[in-house]
Structure 1
Amino acid sequence: MKSDKIKPYLFENWHIKSWKDFDLLQQPNYLNSSLLLETLSTLRCANKIVTENEINQLKYFFSEAEKGNIFILQAGDCAETFESCSFEDVKLRVEHILSLAKKLEEAIEKKVIVVGRIAGQYAKPRSEPFETLNHFSLPAFRGDIINGIEFNEIQRQPDPLRLLKAYENSKKTYDWIKEITNHIFFISHEALLLDYESNLTHKTTYSDQWINFSAHTLWLGERTRDLKSAHVEYLRGISNPIGIKLGPNANYHEIISLLKLLNPQNISGKINLITRFGNKNNNLNLENMIHFLNHSGLCFSWSCDPMHGNSYKTNNGFKTRNFDDIISELIETHKIHNKLGSFLSGIHLELTYKNVTECIGGYKNKLNEYNLSENFQSFCDPRLNKQQSLDLIELFSLKRNL
């Protein structure tokens, strides 16, 4: 990408494909370009998964969260799989998250709005483009929307037809959610695969705005939030609420520029900042960031993702997270907000209703690293299991104000 195409902190002339002229990060290399074009053409004509009215309703809830009037619970799988797309599995996922929301609502005496990592969370960013096994390298697994988990050349090759499968599964999943809940259960995923996202984005006749109809809200990842990234360029043109993941290396001035790019009209309910510093880096970094940004005059709400900054590998090779680190970062984040007169308005969690053994520790049924091999099911990041996620809500409810 030529640097002369960009003016500092100012992106002009947005259109639905303008992101292609910016820094492309975390995008697959499709060998069959004609099949990709055919697939994208089909996606452009596909039925909308969510509605503009639903998106506007969630934007209102985020604006209320900014004021501390409500709380957002955003939770679900690290990465959905095509295999898990069944009515019974969706039902169990939804019921578990709703049960957590109910417990949280009773404890904090505040309305809790549920936003699921569901019905579209099929793509995953990766630290390395390749995976090596027995001295043989293949493209890394990037989620079922791109390639397969099996370590062979055919499965690891990005397949455009998976885009259609992901759309079909997302549509079915959200239809099932509405059937299960009898009311709106908001859906979200990371805005990662830009060919998919942009071809499900349309200008509305009602509001004359560009909307991504694949989800109510999307988030911008820690790896893709660079000001010159294609992801930022795409997201600045849509009117959906947008989450921004912020790690310990986030620069205050860069975040101000990002907020102005993604929300130039400074609309309340548009931006949700999701801190993910990790328990070891949380205290001073977060306090400085909250103080600086809260005095910027810009509109946004604060959430905490206590999962992603606390990942590590055990001696026997399992990627895991320690429950104590997760709950400690969450409670400390809440206390820092309170100290500064700020509002922690949400939690962002990776969890499952299943009795998996992916995270160490817990409040009632503690796991150690030797337990991990018993039922480690995640293809990507470790999730809190059913009991651990219940423990987290209980401990947060008990200790947040101590």
Structure 2
Amino acid sequence: MTTTMSDHHTWRSLPAAQQPDWPDPTAVEEVVAELSGYPPLVSPRECDRLRDRLAAVASGNAFLLQGGDCAETFTASSAEAVRGKLRTLAQMAVVLARGSGLPVVTVGRIAGQYGKPRSRPTETQDGLTLPAYRGEAVNGAAFTPADRAPDPRRMLRAYHASAATLDQLWRLISQGYPNLGQVHGWTREFVARPEIADRHRRLAGEIESALTFLRAYGANPDELRSAEFYTSHEALLLHYEAALTRFDPRTRAAYATSGHLLWIGERTRQLDGAHVAFAESIRNPVAVKLGPATTPDDALTLVERLNPDAEPGRLTLITRMGADRIRDVLPPLVEKVTASGVPVAWVCDPMHGNTFTAPSGHKTRRFRDVADEVTGFFAVHHMLGTHPGGLHLEVTGEDVTECVGGCAAVSMADLGKRYETACDPRLNHNQALDLAFEVAGLFREPSGRAAA
């Protein structure tokens, strides 16, 4: 599929859901003009390489791990914060690779996740109604008229924060962080905890044995590292995405250079809407979130629109059904899309369908629900003979207390101790690694029982 810059502008004539109510349209156009002159954040060649990696996921020959913050903040691009996210994803990737026997494609929800869709356009507190917080690219989180006023110049700050985060990422990766020896050392510390399940220790032992084998043949695990890491975010703010779209003379196609992989959310996947039209117009690999109301015909139409040439690696379908719906809703979608012959990567987002409000007023998720949705996802694909292609998670490298349960033993009473998310609750480092071990076990027992 070749896309041109003229194709790229067709979204402007279509209804665009979840866009901010910018108070000054002229200021928006000025920001777009300024952004249009900025350097790309990622290159078309990198996007093409990720599409090749996702083609392996779609064919059952790789597994996708996609994770990071629900909503990034402008202060989260420090070396320490980025290092923590890299560490968490690297540990998860090693565990998943050992459990699955497949290469793991690692993609961060990072360096661009500054816009958020909301279920309501406004929020009311103590009789005062203000615009909802839509991410730092739009407005501030503090409940004040000044902070909640949409400001298009925040999109410029989002670009610079993304660039700073990428700079930290590439600097750490170029310095060899993290290497395989470091990753396994951290994992050994994790499984040494008394509350860790014996099956997790057995898998960690297999990793230890594999490293021992490598050393016996002269390989040094401290020198082994992955040189590939990709970025992703929701393509929500179309003025921002369009301003960073560039034409690549090599492929004669348009690429969104704000990130390698962009996705359309559950709230913006209208077939006659601007977001689907924008995704059609770019050459990047793209993804779509599918919630429990998705029909098989909805899924198939999106597949035909976004991957008309049946190109492997072009399209990822991210299901977000909820633990209580996944086993019933997912099978007809997979059957319909599979029967079409169009290759897609199926990925599970077990976070968004399992959110509830705790008595304390904090939004949270139960680890057991997250694990159970992944278990259902694997069970459906095992039953249908298709490939459970990956995970899409909201995780952090910090020891936050935002989700309850798991080996971290976070209780409802703990939520207020370190509840730091800018929007939705994330798995902390230990919960994320616990989930990776659970999922690794599902490759061996696809219908296995989820953890409490």
Q: Which whole-Å CA distance do the structure 1 matches of 2:437 and 2:345 have between them?
A: 23
Of the candidates 153, 171, 187, which is equivalent to residue 163 of structure 2? Answer: 171
Residue 16 of structure 1 and its aligned partner are, at CA, apart by: 2.8
Conservation of the 8 A alpha-carbon contact between 1:178 and 1:184: no
Q: Which whole-Å CA distance do the structure 2 matches of 1:400 and 1:380 have between them?
A: 32
Q: Which whole-Å CA distance do the structure 2 matches of 1:65 and 1:14 have between them?
A: 31
Conservation of the 8 A alpha-carbon contact between 2:72 and 2:422: no
Of the candidates 85, 109, 113, which is equivalent to residue 77 of structure 2? Answer: 85
Structure 2 counterpart of 1:8: none
For residue 47 of structure 2, give the secondary structure of its aligned residue in structure 1.
Answer: helix
Q: Which whole-Å CA distance do the structure 2 matches of 1:399 and 1:33 have between them?
A: 51
Q: Which whole-Å CA distance do the structure 2 matches of 1:215 and 1:177 have between them?
A: 13
Structure 1 counterpart of 2:425: 382
Q: Which whole-Å CA distance do the structure 2 matches of 1:271 and 1:107 have between them?
A: 25
Quick one: which amino acid aligns to residue 208 of structure 1? R
Give the gaps of 5 or more residues in structure 2: 175-226, 446-452
Number of residue equivalences: 390
Q: Which whole-Å CA distance do the structure 1 matches of 2:98 and 2:444 have between them?
A: 15
Encode CA deviations 1:33-71: one digit per residue, 9 max, x unaligned: 332222111110110111111111100011111111111
Going by fraction, where is helix more abundant, 1 or 2? 2
Residue 88 of structure 1 and its aligned partner are, at CA, apart by: 2.2
For residue 131 of structure 1, give the secondary structure of its aligned residue in structure 2.
Answer: strand
Quick one: which amino acid aligns to residue 75 of structure 1? G
Encode CA deviations 1:205-253: one digit per residue, 9 max, x unaligned: 1111010011001001000001011101111110100111111100111
Residue 347 of structure 1 and its aligned partner are, at CA, apart by: 0.5
Encode CA deviations 1:115-163: one digit per residue, 9 max, x unaligned: 0000101111000000101010000000001000111111111111111
Q: Which whole-Å CA distance do the structure 1 matches of 2:341 and 2:60 have between them?
A: 17
Q: Which whole-Å CA distance do the structure 2 matches of 1:256 and 1:291 have between them?
A: 10
For residue 246 of structure 2, give the secondary structure of its aligned residue in structure 1.
Answer: strand
Residue 305 of structure 1 and its aligned partner are, at CA, apart by: 0.5
Counting only pairs closer than 5 Å after superposition, residues 189-204 of structure 1 correspond to structure 2 as 189-204=233-248
Q: Which has the higher contact order (CA 8 A, sep 6+)?
A: 2
Encode CA deviations 1:174-221: one digit per residue, 9 max, x unaligned: 122111112331000000000000110111111110100110010010
Structure 1 counterpart of 2:387: 343
Quick one: which amino acid aligns to residue 359 of structure 1? C
Structure 1 counterpart of 2:285: 241
Structure 1 counterpart of 2:23: 31
For residue 82 of structure 1, give the secondary structure of its aligned residue in structure 2.
Answer: coil
Q: Which whole-Å CA distance do the structure 1 matches of 2:434 and 2:79 have between them?
A: 27
Structure 2 counterpart of 1:227: 271
Q: Which whole-Å CA distance do the structure 2 matches of 1:168 and 1:149 have between them?
A: 19
Structure 2 counterpart of 1:395: 438
Q: Which whole-Å CA distance do the structure 2 matches of 1:266 and 1:398 have between them?
A: 32
Q: Which whole-Å CA distance do the structure 2 matches of 1:118 and 1:347 have between them?
A: 15
Using structure 1 for the length normalisation, give the TM-score.
0.94
Structure 2 counterpart of 1:50: 42
For residue 65 of structure 2, give the secondary structure of its aligned residue in structure 1.
Answer: strand
Kindly name which structure, 1 or 2, has the bigger radius of gyration based on alpha carbons: 2
For residue 284 of structure 1, give the secondary structure of its aligned residue in structure 2.
Answer: helix
Q: Report the aligned-residue RMSD.
A: 1.4
Quick one: which amino acid aligns to residue 348 of structure 1? H
Using structure 2 for the length normalisation, give the TM-score.
0.84
Q: Which whole-Å CA distance do the structure 1 matches of 2:89 and 2:268 have between them?
A: 28
Conservation of the 8 A alpha-carbon contact between 2:84 and 2:396: no
Conservation of the 8 A alpha-carbon contact between 1:49 and 1:214: yes
Give the gaps of 5 or more residues in structure 1: 1-12
Point out the more displaced range, 15-24 or 107-116: 15-24
Conservation of the 8 A alpha-carbon contact between 1:335 and 1:400: no
Runs of 4+ in 1 over 4 A off after TM superposition: none
For residue 327 of structure 1, give the secondary structure of its aligned residue in structure 2.
Answer: helix
Conservation of the 8 A alpha-carbon contact between 1:335 and 1:401: no
Structure 1 counterpart of 2:182: none
